[in-house]
Amino acid sequence: MDWLFLLGIAIFFVGLMVSIGLHEIGHLLPAKLFGVRVTQYMVGFGPTLWSRRTGETEYGIKWLPLGGYIRMIGMLPPKPGDDPGKVRGGSTGPFQSLIETAREAALEEVRPGDENRVFYRKKWWQKVIVMSGGPAMNFVLAFFLYTLLLVGIGLPTYAPVVSPDTNTCVIPISEQRTECRPGDRPTPASQAGLKAGDKIVSLDGQRIETWDDATRIIRSHGAGPAELGIIRDGKAMTLQTTLIAQDRPKPGQPDVIERNVGFLGVLPTEVMQQQSFGEVFPYMAELTGRVAVSLVNLPEKMVGVWDAAFSGAERDPEGPVGVVGAGRMGGEILASDLTGVQKLFVFVNLLAGFNLAIGMFNLIPLLPLDGGHIAGGLWEGVKRAWARILRRPEPSYVDIAKVLPLTYALAIVMIVMAGLLVYADLINPLRLTG
């Protein structure tokens, strides 16, 4: 196996671990700020690889880079009417036993004097801030990476610069070939003497700045003589050419054919065009919308993953991918024939997209996700505000322990989905490069 492939996987997982670590710091900092006692901060799951205790918190790294957590005392309130320091035994059914066991686990680290340091006693808005901190950190990291992508590296775009891959002959679109044959007529570009690297700047006095400009102006010109303004080796030149009429695919709609449009016969060069800082906001907003749609369609997309895993169907490029598949993509990127800048672009884009997806997924208002705790905190705030309006006694804390059976069911579903993604990523991976 190529060492670059392995290095790419390693780099991706380091980036993933950093993202997970920052997510958990997003929870840790406000929790400590509001006085919640945090006993553990861990990146990863499974056996502990390294840890160190600083103050009252144990900081560590575990072997499996598949997530992370912070352990806050008193995440669940005691049973109503019971002593805050202990939970009464004696369940009335399997679900009640499950809930009471969870309450005991949440309170087992509560020591004398910690009564006001448990999570459930904090104000509703403090709970919301603590639980929103993780996804917020992912969004901040995604924004930073997308800023690096757009402003620092640039977006890939086609420039009106003649590519070395440009053919010197006219090949009708009905013929599925790329090589010239004897008897093929030369293109107007080759007859005019255009060379690879020439930048097209005008046609018959019409200014050309982008490849879209070049396509539109050349096609609308139609067949006939024209003056072609170019820049070659930094010098402005004018070439005489005669465009011909050809049937060509419509830009962005390859199945639609435009008849008898002007044809010069050049291919553009892909370049990285840097964007302004202001472009980051609409770019990330568009991607956020696409991720939201993907989350809504996640059950349907997982059916496609199942078909790809067990029926050999093709993986959906817009479908979900797990950490194993993303790590494999990182290896493919580094081992590919892309240029260094292109590799950096794809790598940063992959990591930024993962952070955006992780942040949004965690906002789903279901436990055990952060969004479930956020929803509980918001509901508590609504109840207390309503009680103040009606001048009623302040209601008790929202008891999210009551939905623990649903939480465990959702956790099982998430584990099954994660396992299916791992299997599909190994058997029928989604590839970025050919």
Question: Which residues are marked as active site?
Answer: 24
Yes or no: say if 155 and 284 are a contact pair by the CB < 8 Å rule. Answer: no
Structure tokens at 161: 């610069």
Instruction: Report the C-alpha gap between 71 and 27 in whole angstroms.
Output: 10
List the beta bridge partners of residue 50.
61
Distance, in Å, from the CA atom of 424 to the CA atom of 434, rounded to the nearest integer, reads: 18
The Cα 62–Cα 144 span in angstroms is 27
Cα–Cα distances in Å, from 367 out to 76, 160, 313, 362, 400? 12, 52, 33, 9, 9
Q: How far apart are CA 128 and CA 379, in angstroms?
A: 10
Up-side HSE of residue 429: CA atoms within 13 Å toward CB?
17
DSSP 161: B
Cα distance from N-terminal residue to C-terminal residue, the chain: 17
Ranges of H-type helices in 248-339: 280-296, 298-310, 323-335
Q: Is 433 helix (H, G, I), strand (E, B) or coil?
A: coil
Question: Which of 208, 231, 230 minimizes the C-alpha distance to 218?
Answer: 208
HSE (CB half, 13 Å, CA atoms) of 77?
Answer: 18
Parallel, antiparallel or unpaired: strands 206-207 and 253-263: unpaired
Q: Give the single-character DSSP code of 77.
A: P
Taking the C-alpha atoms of residue 99 and residue 87, their distance in angstroms, rounded to an integer, is 11
